[in-house]
Structure 1
């Protein structure tokens, strides 16, 4: 059944969420660009107006200075040549000066020089009506008039400079305001980015945890429904369906293995019991040839039983069997495993060298015995007839190292890369009528990982050597360990 979807608003699709995120993140940046454009446009307009006014005011101030000079020149020429046309020129320049001064007074309404120029201009306007002697005496008035005109020009320039300073200060204020707006709006964009990133990433992480839960094969924890775009919600529903189907298939596999083990082991036990009875002579004396055939049947039945147990062990380890740590003597564990293979070792004619004990370490006895059983079984199956089998052990402060080495044909580099993969069978074939299942080393590696250890193929003076490394559990109880080299090891 599809999971229940929250009634809170969510985007209908991932595309809609991405587009919405893009628009929302771009909105503060668009506002910032608009405000920056408005501010720059205002400053540009103000600078343009101020520049035009400065040019006009500067030109007008210079014109006033030139008119004052022309008025003085015309008056002095008239005093020399007494030509009436010079007075007309004087009156014309005075009229122009008066009109420009009126405009300049609007720029500098409180400037005393402008007011003084107005008063002096009224006095100079009386010159054409005065007698020549009085006219000449009044010519001295042009000197203060020129000084006031120059002072008025300086005041105009100062006024223009003050306006430019105001524009500069205005530009700095606008710049400061834009910086603050940039910081605020970019922060808003970042917050929106984080928000929408969370809206996108959160359901993806929920799906990732769901997938990891399915892949781990463990008990699924109770979790909430995925909140996000419709595509991800549908994907979560499909994962729920897939999880239920996998659980059903796993249950079917478990049931099949249980039935298979029962269906195979029951008749196999009957076959082995029957062959044992025949070997014991219950049905009469057997010839040597018949006894050899029964021994072959019994040996093959034992190998078949071992293969079935390996398959069941592999299935058990895939379901996270818990550790049961105990302080055990490794030498005793190894000798118990070797005892199980005594007859096979005798038939193979292999010479066994094993380390001496006691060597106590905190291990899972079942898992460690299973590792040793698989390694020794492989050494017997693949080792050379009459060869060597060595079991070595050494310890450090933090780990235990066990090595199982045998003489015989070496493992190729290509096979070595896949040795611990389930159901992989290399180039070297198992000796005997019954072939291997390819799960023995996989089971052994899983048992090592279960104890947080490692199992690896290493180089050795013998052809094949597997090294098991187990970390310190509760520590060793007895450090009085006798380490024996292969050359001086005791015979098993």
Structure 2
């Protein structure tokens, strides 16, 4: 049992040393090496088991042949003893010389077989006694008939010793079979220990090579997740393993740097675009305000209506620009700033921003009364309400209804914004909250929507570990925001933007 464990520890140490000093250059080499190293202990086990079985088989075959031969010889000696006695007694009766010849032949055969039997039972007293009696029985043919008859009584102890020798032979055969059985049990026990040790070695080698294969794959997975989440560390350790995986890691590094370059270009574009758009837009709105104030002279009613249209369109364009900037901000892992607020106050502040638009559409507004206290991020929650109300104004029917409801449970806050109007088509619902998606229903007004309003709202909900979904309601459209309870010291980072939006305003 010591040898298998010694072999096991030596194999493990040698494998560890090899894995530290030499690494396969390809994944195929690593897999083939793993297969060979795992099969090596099993091959040793099969070889040792074959050797042990061959030894037991040979030993059993030799023992069986010897047992048959020795048993047959012992029986032959018993039969010869009876024939010797029979021939001697027949000669004493009929005095026929041919019987003495048969006697001599049987005696010589008995002596030869007894000599071979002595090799099996060298220290047996019955074999020694039979040798002495053979010398005495050999003298019988030379004696007169009267003396021969007197000496016939010597055959009785001769037969007894022959039977005792036969029984001793059987006992010796039984002892030999017991030795073979004990040896077989010893070999079986040794094989069990060797099996346990070598199979354990194979399992450990499997775990070792599995780790050598899985470790670089997991490093690649973390690398990919880091690229996808945008939180990749620059000091990530390089992949150590097969050449194919190392090259893949290098390609991922190149892809990461390329994505960083594209992201920087996108940020630069958005910064420039916001500046380039806001500057002339501010001039347009300032000019329209000056004209409205009569700086350039009195205006006719028709001219005032045109200026009001210009001012409203400029305000809408500014809102779209701010939505686009909000969308870009949420893509870069903005952290929460939680505080306990009255949600009714937040909702009414947002409603106040849309007061003129609601009055223009003559929509009836019902908003829940406070206080409804909950730990929320003011900016994120305000963006959700602002986009949902803006959507209701843009797509709701003139003279319709807008309801803002809120309720709390021990584990969550539920906020609903519902409006009457045309329902969202089923084919658009599966694209709900997808950024820049424009559904079949067109928004009402001079400007077309940007397609990111609901996407921003959904991302703000996910930022607070909540959900935003479209639900069935007595009004045509109802969006439900569900926010869970968040601990005082809890802050979360928003993952990369994904999602669908059927009617992003």
TM-score between both structures, scaled by the size of structure 1:
0.93
Task: Summarize deviations over 1:387-421 as a string: whole Å, max 9, x none.
Answer: 00011111223322211110011112332222111
Q: The residue matched to 1:40 in structure 2 has which SS?
A: helix
- 359-368 or 133-142: which moved more? 359-368
CA contact (8 A) 2:417 2:478 kept: yes
The counterpart of 2:147, out of the listed 108, 124, 134, is 134
Q: Residue 219 of structure 1: CA displacement?
A: 4.9
1:61 match: 74
Query: Residue 362 and residue 192 in structure 1: after superposition, are their counterparts in 2 closer, same or farther (change >3 A)?
Result: same
**1:220-239 superposed matches below 5 A:** 220=233, 222-239=235-252
Distance in 1, Cα, partners of 2:226 & 2:320 = 31
Q: Residue 221 of structure 1: CA displacement?
A: 5.1
The counterpart of 1:174, out of the listed 187, 207, 215, is 187
Name structure 2 gaps, 5 residues minimum: 1-18, 489-505
Q: The residue matched to 2:297 in structure 1 has which SS?
A: coil
Query: Residue 16 and residue 103 in structure 1: after superposition, are their counterparts in 2 closer, same or farther (change >3 A)?
Result: same
Q: Residue 92 of structure 1: CA displacement?
A: 0.9
Q: Does 1:71 align with 2:84?
A: yes
Q: Residue 9 of structure 1: CA displacement?
A: 3.0
Q: Residue 270 of structure 1: CA displacement?
A: 1.2
**1:419-458 superposed matches below 5 A:** 419-458=432-471
Distance in 1, Cα, partners of 2:157 & 2:250 = 99
Distance in 2, Cα, partners of 1:435 & 1:275 = 22
Distance in 1, Cα, partners of 2:138 & 2:117 = 19
1:255 match: 268
Distance in 1, Cα, partners of 2:145 & 2:375 = 136
The counterpart of 1:385, out of the listed 398, 401, 426, is 398
Q: The residue matched to 1:362 in structure 2 has which SS?
A: strand
Distance in 1, Cα, partners of 2:200 & 2:321 = 66
1:143 match: 156
Q: The residue matched to 2:402 in structure 1 has which SS?
A: strand
Q: Residue 372 of structure 1: CA displacement?
A: 0.5
Query: Residue 168 and residue 473 in structure 1: after superposition, are their counterparts in 2 closer, same or farther (change >3 A)?
Result: closer
Task: Summarize deviations over 1:12-64 as a string: whole Å, max 9, x none.
Answer: 11111111111111111100100100111111111111111111111111111
- Give the count of matched residue pairs: 470
Task: Summarize deviations over 1:231-280 as a string: whole Å, max 9, x none.
Answer: 11111111111111111111110000000000111111111222222222
CA contact (8 A) 1:361 1:473 kept: no
1:163 match: 176
CA contact (8 A) 2:130 2:162 kept: yes
Q: Residue 309 of structure 1: CA displacement?
A: 0.9
Distance in 2, Cα, partners of 1:114 & 1:326 = 110
1:3 match: none
1:112 match: 125
1:314 match: 327
Q: Does 1:357 align with 2:370?
A: yes
Q: Residue 474 of structure 1: CA displacement?
A: 5.6
Name structure 1 gaps, 5 residues minimum: 1-5, 476-492
Distance in 2, Cα, partners of 1:27 & 1:249 = 52
Q: The residue matched to 1:109 in structure 2 has which SS?
A: coil
TM-score between both structures, scaled by the size of structure 2:
0.91
CA RMSD, 1 decimal = 1.5
CA contact (8 A) 1:74 1:87 kept: yes
2:7 match: none
1:395 match: 408
Distance in 2, Cα, partners of 1:71 & 1:213 = 103
1:36 match: 49
Q: Does 1:152 align with 2:165?
A: yes
CA contact (8 A) 1:218 1:319 kept: no
Q: Residue 194 of structure 1: CA displacement?
A: 0.8
CA contact (8 A) 2:403 2:419 kept: yes
Q: Does 1:299 align with 2:312?
A: yes
CA contact (8 A) 2:223 2:232 kept: no
1:368 match: 381
Distance in 2, Cα, partners of 1:270 & 1:195 = 70
